[in-house]
Structure 1
Amino acid sequence: MTRPEELLRPTPAGLYCPPGDFYVDPVRPVDRAVITHGHSDHARSGHGAVLATPQTLAIMAERYGPEFAGRVQAAAYGETTQIGGATVRLVPAGHVLGSAQVVVERGGLTMVVSGDYKRRRDPTCPPFEPVPCHVFITEATFGLPVFVHPPDEEEIGRLIHSLTQFPDRAHLVAAYALGKAQRVICLLREAGWSRTIHVHGALERLNRLYQREGVDLGSLAPATGLAAGALGGEVVIAPPSAIQDRWARRFADPVAAFASGWMGVRARARQRGVELPLVISDHADWPELIRTFEELGPEEIWITHGREEGLLRWAELSGVKARALRLVGYDEEDEQAPDSTIPA
Structure 2
Amino acid sequence: MIKPLIYKADLGIYCEAGDFYIDPHRPVARAVVTHGHADHARAGHGAVLATRETLDIMKIRYGENFAGATQAIKGAIRVGDVNVSLRPAGHVLGSAQVVIEKGGRRDVISGDYSRVANPACAPFEPVPCDLFVTEATFALPVFRHPDPVNEINRFLASVRRFPERPHIIGAYALGKAQRVIMLLRQAGYDAPIYIHGALQALCDYHIAQGIPLGDLRPATMDKAQARELREAVLIAPPSAFGAAWVQRFADPVISFASGWMQIRAHARRRGVELPLVISDHVDWPDVTRTIEEIDPEEFWITHGREEALMRWAALTQRRAQPLHLMGYEEEPE
Identify the TM-score tier after normalising by the shorter chain. Answer: over 0.9
What residue in structure 1 maps to residue 305 of structure 2?
Answer: 307
Residue equivalent to 2:28: 30
- Partner residue, 2:329: 331
User: Between the two proteins, what is the percent identity of the paired residues?
Assistant: 59
Question: The residue matched to 1:69 in structure 2 has which SS?
Answer: coil
Does the residue aligned with 1:202 lie in a helix, a strand or coil?
Answer: helix
Distance 1:230 1:208 in 2: 22
Q: TM-score, normalised by structure 2?
A: 0.98
Cross-structure match for 1:195: 191
CA distance in 1, matches of 2:318, 2:222: 57
Give how far 1:185 is off: 0.2
Aligned to 2:249: 251
Task: Name which of 30, 48, 51 aligns with 2:46.
Answer: 48
Q: Is it true that 1:148 corresponds to 2:156 in the alignment?
A: no
1:67 aligned residue (60, 65, 79): 65
Equivalents in 2 of 1:133, 1:163: separation in Å?
Answer: 46
Provide the alpha-carbon RMSD of the alignment: 1.0
Unaligned runs of 5+ in 2: none
Give unmatched runs, 5+ long, in structure 1.
Answer: 337-344
- The one of 168, 175, 182 equivalent to 2:171 is 175
Once residues 252 and 125 of structure 1 are traced to their aligned partners in structure 2, the CA distance between those partners, rounded to angstroms, is: 35
What count of residue pairs does the alignment treat as equivalent? 331
Alignment partner, residue 132 of structure 1: 128
Kept in 2, the 8 Å contact 1:169–1:254? The answer is yes
**DSSP 3-state at the match of 2:61:** helix
CA displacement, residues 249-270 of structure 1 (integer Å, 9 cap, x when unaligned): 2123101000000000000000
Q: Distance in 2 between matches of 1:115 and 1:203?
A: 23
Deviations 1:125-171 (A, max 9, x none): 11000000111000000010000000000100011000001000000
Separation in 1 of the partners of 2:172 and 2:211?
A: 17
Q: Distance in 2 between matches of 1:69 and 1:248?
A: 35
Residue 88 (structure 2) pairs with residue 92 (structure 1): yes
SS at match of 1:47: coil
TM-score normalised by length of structure 1: 0.95
Aligned to 1:108: 104
1:214 to 198, 210, 216: 210
- Residue 159 of structure 1 corresponds to which residue in structure 2? 155
Deviation at 1:225, TM superposition (A): 3.3
Matches of 1:49 and 1:249, distance apart in 2: 43
Deviations 1:215-258 (A, max 9, x none): 11000100003346752331100001112322112123101000
Q: Deviations over 1:7-56 (max 9, x none)?
A: 10111111000000000001111111100000010000111111100000
Residue type of the partner of 1:306? G
Give yes or no for the alignment of 1:297 onto 2:295. yes
C-alpha contact 2:230 2:250 (8 A) present in aligned 1: yes
